[in-house]
Structure 1
């Protein structure tokens, strides 16, 4: 890296302090192990001094006897602090160590989804799909297209950083625009919009595994729904695209000035922005068809005659089943099917349906309405098998699309090739397994000590007595998460630390685990792009230096701060509005929560 004023001065100020402090922190694995030692010491002291908390009568009445026994809660509702160095807990640590690790909720979710995603990534499907999505965008629509694809590309994990961000620089340069503006827009979409997406994916599986474990601290029967933030993250995407568009075109690009392509070889642009080959185009068509096929299969299992993915108690109207089943499949074809008359027709039908809903909503505001459509009349509880099947569904979806693409472009020529890709995907998860082992024991032992539940009860009582409105409370959680994110980069590591206190505390205050997860995601996303501790930050810097040799860490941080500020402001506003109006965060996932009358053990 060039020795420029930017690189000389980047260590000054608050961000410099963040960088220096963060660089001194050990690996997250050792952070968890260190915190385990601290937790043990605190639990011993807390037990000796008699630290406790008292549950309210309404919560106590709703707890099963097994739950009370689990937390050593007496008839008076007192929750005692328990020493982790007691004979019982020492025995529990060593005897239950394998179960503690394998029962860590995010572990199974992430490994299952990554089997399919690993194949899709290694065949080149993710990278070529993103290239195809952004290459044909008009110059004036380049920024919103890049932002949209970048956020959607979160499903591709590393591929979004490695493929889309440098590609955005090339596309901007080809269009005569400043390539660093393209890199900034793509970085803001991939990392600043980390939680925003049109559908749940790998991140949802990871976070909701931790959310479920945290929710079970208070309600052992709590089951997480990985689609619990679906509506909210879709709204984030809808809002973040114009925000990134505005910041890029009106703030960042004018600040960068006119780009002069000095030292950039024309053949470099030509090679890296080369159009897709015929085989790659055919592969994308086949992958799209396989995706539609998987969606059709899941729709049939949910709305077909036997409905294995809908609870038997559901009474589904046959007409409604047929109508919404066809609309779902047509929607998938409109998004992912090969171009042609059928795709145009699918888009027309889906567009008319959306227009119908919009007109019906507007007329409803005037006390009018259109003829009602057949209703499915199915409750979230009856749909729980469908929600719980989504992890397996994403495995099949990514696997089917990856195989279809890989076979077409001859990346998969035998079963051995496929098995090799699956093995490599699991090999790449080696570090995560080590981190999960440490995190699993921290989360479990935090629960054994009762310190999480005690902190949650005292925190809830303090907030309740302060009269702090829930929208403001969630806004403070968003800001707190954003601050923590400057020092701890891993999304799962942060949530594993915060969730055992945050989730039960908010449940006691009437906020659902889905609401807690949504607030965390807003804060986590907004500051990703301004911390040098973000693992891809050096890589983004290298991408930028290909176009401007004297571009330093200070330069990159400076152009990303406006994105961070605007994403935080709009994310906060969205969170507050969502809570005020009580809109569901996802299917069967309200913002509010009521402790069950009897929380099963």
Structure 2
């Protein structure tokens, strides 16, 4: 069949030309950086050398908390070297994000490998009308981080096929799926593994200033949940007002045998009877569990209430356990009904698969844990935080300007370090204590990081999913290149970055809490 596409360069390709050259330079610089594992080990070595140099020079700072002098500790001494060796294992096993992410993943893995998460996404996409398809797909993408990186493999081809089935551009569907899942990765309607990882890193960083400070995995939940809906609206508006025009004429006609979704229709995404029953019972079981959770938390005299009532209840201070149970329960119920779970051994096998997917993260955590420990032992972190906060106080910058500066800094660094957990592990020991000394809670700093981190994922050539998305788009538009993809993702990235911070500014101005018992000021 003859192609309907002109040989002229597409508008998206032309508009993306300059961006291609700029980002190609960024890619070359980023490729010079080592793997985050080696980056953390190398920086750990730098901290050891700095501790020796600065310690001998007598570098110190006065803590504003108690007026005591904080001095750099030389770690390249007999005692320091002994500590490095003997504390290596405790550094790793006691690394705050480690236990949190493992426990959450044990539950999420059952929901994922039983098919519950994929079925829920298919259910949403298949039942909505064509009019609401963009918003529904975007909301699924933003919330899809609950399935971790698997959301990209599931949602991008699903979005392309769903749009094609209702007579719209499959390129547009793939872009909606990719941008919402990637740029909106740090917002979700549900608690995700990212919440657990970032909370652990924030806790570790906050304890450089306050040894008893703990950041809960639900610390940003209220704002994150509202952000998921807001960002889905942003993606929808940019798509319908701008991207529709850019993608017009991008799709080439295929022979039936060449079209990757020639036989696809929305009806093919619909659930069978067993899957529908599984989703219904999984939803009912989740609702029942949540009702029991609230009763145990709120009913006077409950054994699960803390000494001071609700706020120090173990159900909130260690909320990762109820979260893991919730995902596991819903996944088991769904799996039993759909026959994806046929024996008791299937459940631990699914948990094992979930932990296998965590292997790269665990390797990274070992190096990050040593780096954070050296930073803490040397006192370099608190001294940088104290000095930095002094400078910022003298500058007397408005609070929101300070917040915007941090978001922009994170967004810029995300071009080179696309792993959010790796970037936050590097930044948290400095920015969290520094902002604490300025009167900004760690939970707020963590949310600012999240707003800067994910929107630029979709325009970073360092991201492996950038290439994945391009591959899917080329199935429908063979001439698509990096410029094409950038011309489609850049508007969403900018709109999300600016819009999300504006939304936070409104939230901050009203004074709404970020999460349960977490005031924004």
Q: State the TM bucket, normalised to the shorter chain.
A: over 0.9
User: In 1, distance between residues paired with 2:75 and 2:382?
Assistant: 15
User: How far 1:214 sits from its partner (Å)?
Assistant: 0.5
Partner of 1:310: 305
User: How far 1:199 sits from its partner (Å)?
Assistant: 3.2
User: In 2, distance between residues paired with 1:117 and 1:105?
Assistant: 19
Partner of 2:358: 429
Partner of 1:207: 198
User: How far 1:272 sits from its partner (Å)?
Assistant: 7.2
User: How far 1:53 sits from its partner (Å)?
Assistant: 1.1
User: In 1, distance between residues paired with 2:383 and 2:300?
Assistant: 48
- Select the residue among 142, 152, 171 that pairs with 2:143: 152
- Select the residue among 279, 289, 292 that pairs with 1:294: 289
Partner of 1:28: 36
Residue 221 (str. 1) matches residue 212 (str. 2): yes
User: How far 1:154 sits from its partner (Å)?
Assistant: 1.4
User: In 1, distance between residues paired with 2:341 and 2:332?
Assistant: 7
Partner of 1:40: 48
Contact 2:162 2:265 in 1 (8 A): no
Change (3 A) 1:41 1:242: same
**What pairs up with 1:199-598 in 2 under 5 angstroms?**
199-258=190-249, 260=251, 262-263=253-254, 265=256, 268-271=261-264, 273=266, 274=268, 275-304=270-299, 306-314=301-309, 382-592=311-521
Partner of 1:131: 122
Change (3 A) 1:267 1:225: closer
Of 575-584 and 563-572, more deviation after overlay is shown by 575-584
User: How far 1:303 sits from its partner (Å)?
Assistant: 2.5
Contact 1:474 1:576 in 2 (8 A): no
User: In 2, distance between residues paired with 1:386 and 1:444?
Assistant: 29
Contact 2:189 2:224 in 1 (8 A): yes
Partner of 1:195: 186
What's the secondary structure of 1:218's corresponding residue?
coil
What's the secondary structure of 1:296's corresponding residue?
helix
What's the secondary structure of 1:79's corresponding residue?
strand
Partner of 2:154: 163
User: In 2, distance between residues paired with 1:15 and 1:384?
Assistant: 48
Change (3 A) 1:136 1:259: farther
User: How far 1:261 sits from its partner (Å)?
Assistant: 5.2
Contact 1:456 1:502 in 2 (8 A): yes
Deviation string 1:370-400 (CA, Å, 9 cap, x unpaired) is xxxxxxxx6xxx3443322320111111111
User: In 2, distance between residues paired with 1:215 and 1:569?
Assistant: 28
Partner of 1:369: none
User: In 1, distance between residues paired with 2:260 and 2:355?
Assistant: 37
Contact 1:131 1:164 in 2 (8 A): no
Deviation string 1:109-147 (CA, Å, 9 cap, x unpaired) is 000011111121111111111011111221221111111
- Select the residue among 7, 10, 26 that pairs with 1:18: 26
Contact 1:489 1:535 in 2 (8 A): no
Gaps of 5+ in 1: 61-75, 315-377, 593-601
Residue 55 (str. 1) matches residue 48 (str. 2): no
TM-score (norm: length of structure 2): 0.93
What's the secondary structure of 1:227's corresponding residue?
coil
Contact 1:201 1:394 in 2 (8 A): no
User: In 1, distance between residues paired with 2:281 and 2:262?
Assistant: 28
User: How far 1:270 sits from its partner (Å)?
Assistant: 3.1
User: How far 1:267 sits from its partner (Å)?
Assistant: 8.2
Residue 87 (str. 1) matches residue 81 (str. 2): no
What's the secondary structure of 2:145's corresponding residue?
helix
User: In 2, distance between residues paired with 1:245 and 1:264?
Assistant: 31
Q: Report how many residues are paired.
A: 506
Partner of 2:4: none
Deviation string 1:60-79 (CA, Å, 9 cap, x unpaired) is 0xxxxxxxxxxxxxxx6211
Gaps of 5+ in 2: 1-7
Of 490-499 and 234-243, more deviation after overlay is shown by 234-243
User: How far 1:269 sits from its partner (Å)?
Assistant: 4.2
Change (3 A) 1:547 1:87: same
Partner of 2:167: 176
Contact 2:165 2:265 in 1 (8 A): no
User: In 2, distance between residues paired with 1:537 and 1:517?
Assistant: 25
